A = this chain, B = another copy of it.
Amino acid sequence: MTHMTPEEFRRYGREVVDWIADYYERVESLPVLSRSRPGDTRMALPAHPPETAEPFEDLMRDLDRVIVPGLTHWQHPSFFGFFPANASGPAILGDLLASGLGVQGMLWTTSPAATELETHVLDWFCELLDLPGRFASSGPGGGVIQHSASDAALVAVLAALHRVSGGATEHAGVAAGRYAVYTSGQTHSSVEKACRVAGLGSDALRKIEVDPSTQAARPQHLAALLAADRAAGITPALVVASVGATGTGAVDPVADLARLAHEHGAWLHVDAAWAGVAAVAPELRWLNDGLELADSYCTNPHKWLLTNFDCDVFYVADRAPLIGALSILPEYLRNAASDAGAVIDYRDWHVPLGRRFRALKLWAVIRWYGAEGLREHIRRSVALTQRFAGWVASDDRFEIVAPHPLALVTFRLRAGDDATRALMDAVNATGRMYLTHTTVDGAPALRMSIGATLTEERHVRAAWELLAATAG
């Protein structure tokens, strides 16, 4: 057996770095959506693993031969599907440092700098977004990096159950039918998944009606749902408000929902996975309205803020219920620093025990761009989106179906559902752009999500020209 020597690592490392740089230089020439058919990738691979070592060069060759044709290029400047998954040079290199160091930050003592850099950078991030001070680590609250907003929703459910049950659920479990969770129909499927995972079942989830003009949750309907549950002896555990919901980017009235939640003793979690980071720009800080009443909040630098997946930042106003829900201390994890209570052990803030040093990439991004650069990235996406929306609005064949204050426009063809779907399939098939769809008021609508790291005006303009020409 031969480990890769430091000298070999230098050589192959440079090759990989160059390959990635080359990839970014040519990604625009590749079809955005992969043309791969089911089984294509597997058929190009040997059926059995190699018995003996293979040269690294063979892997690099197969990268071009097998892998690249099977990719949908999320970093392509004409990727307008889903929400963006921003990569950036500093994030990639921060992540590389994390891989190279290979430390496990499960406990403070297993690498103090991994824990402290995370706490520190999450405090910085709080300041960058101008989040309420209650989320900073200096008080009873604090932040932690989660894998994804789905994981954040899950731990919010668990913390809420801990608090509302007075700590009983960890031991006794959740009595079926006893607790309820509330969110709008526009909220991400992660909330329903969290209800299932946490043993509440999807029956525990109440869908709050939305205002048809804004797609935002209606507080009056939440009030009615809460009252009905209370009357039926069901305990409201959690209300999830969305700031920038997945379908159309809807923004719920957080303060109103929070006041209602608290009247009934429930936890208020804000899922701002995509949109939250936009608050780096002061003129977009209306996105933070009501957060001073939230019990927890998450947003994903790995979507629209230049930080490679995975990096969801999750904040709580009070860390005690979160830790109460998740802390278990076997003997082999005991240590003096933790016993003294002087440190944070992040393993108690999420489901996994082991954890990668993810703060490095967020630190690298904040330092490379500075607050100024982060604001400019967001502002550029928003400006391009408004320009695109203007073109759509000025074309009578199209209609915009929801407000679009940020970087997502949902629209459809007036010619009908089939025409709308056919338009999406046709432009995606060209390989020159990629966008996805949703349902608004029961009918399909296309989602143009702008904000990939490398998207410039010419890409958005070309996308519109293609859409307009294809709409016929």
- Complex: chain B residue closest to A359, CB-CB: B67
Does the CB pair A113–B189 fall under 8 Å?
A: no
**For the complex, is A97 an interface residue (Cβ under 8 Å from B)?**
yes
Distance between Cα atoms of A81 and B48 in the complex (Å): 35
Q: How far is the CB of A460 from chain B (nearest CB, A)?
A: 17
Q: Please report whether the interface of chain A is mostly helix, strand, loop or mixed according to DSSP.
A: helix
**For the complex, is A405 an interface residue (Cβ under 8 Å from B)?**
no
Q: Which of B88, B310, B354 contacts A4 (CB under 8 A)? A: B88
Q: How far is the CB of A281 from chain B (nearest CB, A)?
A: 12
Q: How far is the CB of A349 from chain B (nearest CB, A)?
A: 12
Q: How far is the CB of A347 from chain B (nearest CB, A)?
A: 9
Does the CB pair A51–B119 fall under 8 Å?
A: no
Does the CB pair A74–B102 fall under 8 Å?
A: yes
- Complex: chain B residue closest to A306, CB-CB: B3
Neighbouring B residues of A7 by C-beta, 8 Å: 21
With A170-B196, A354-B148 in contact, is A21–B17 under 8 Å at CB? Answer: no
Q: How far is the CB of A174 from chain B (nearest CB, A)?
A: 4
Neighbouring B residues of A1 by C-beta, 8 Å: 369, 372-377, 380
Distance between Cα atoms of A16 and B196 in the complex (Å): 42
Neighbouring B residues of A116 by C-beta, 8 Å: 39-42, 70
**For the complex, is A253 an interface residue (Cβ under 8 Å from B)?**
no
A-B contact pairs, 8 of them (CB 8 A): A1-B369, A1-B380, A6-B24, A56-B93, A59-B368, A174-B176, A196-B326, A247-B330
- Complex: chain B residue closest to A195, CB-CB: B173
Chain A interface bracket (under 10, 10 to 19, 20 to 34, 35 or more): 35 or more
**For the complex, is A87 an interface residue (Cβ under 8 Å from B)?**
yes
**For the complex, is A468 an interface residue (Cβ under 8 Å from B)?**
no
Q: Which of B74, B330, B354 contacts A246 (CB under 8 A)? A: B330
With A20-B13, A354-B302 in contact, is A100–B104 under 8 Å at CB? Answer: no
Neighbouring B residues of A176 by C-beta, 8 Å: 172-176
Does the CB pair A17–B9 fall under 8 Å?
A: yes
Q: Which of A9, A169, A447 has the most CB of B within 10 A?
A: A9
Neighbouring B residues of A81 by C-beta, 8 Å: 110
**For the complex, is A288 an interface residue (Cβ under 8 Å from B)?**
no
Q: How far is the CB of A429 from chain B (nearest CB, A)?
A: 11
Q: How far is the CB of A108 from chain B (nearest CB, A)?
A: 7
Q: Which of B104, B169, B439 contacts A74 (CB under 8 A)? A: B104
Neighbouring B residues of A68 by C-beta, 8 Å: 113
Does the CB pair B193–A351 fall under 8 Å?
A: yes
Does the CB pair A17–B10 fall under 8 Å?
A: yes
Does the CB pair B351–A197 fall under 8 Å?
A: yes
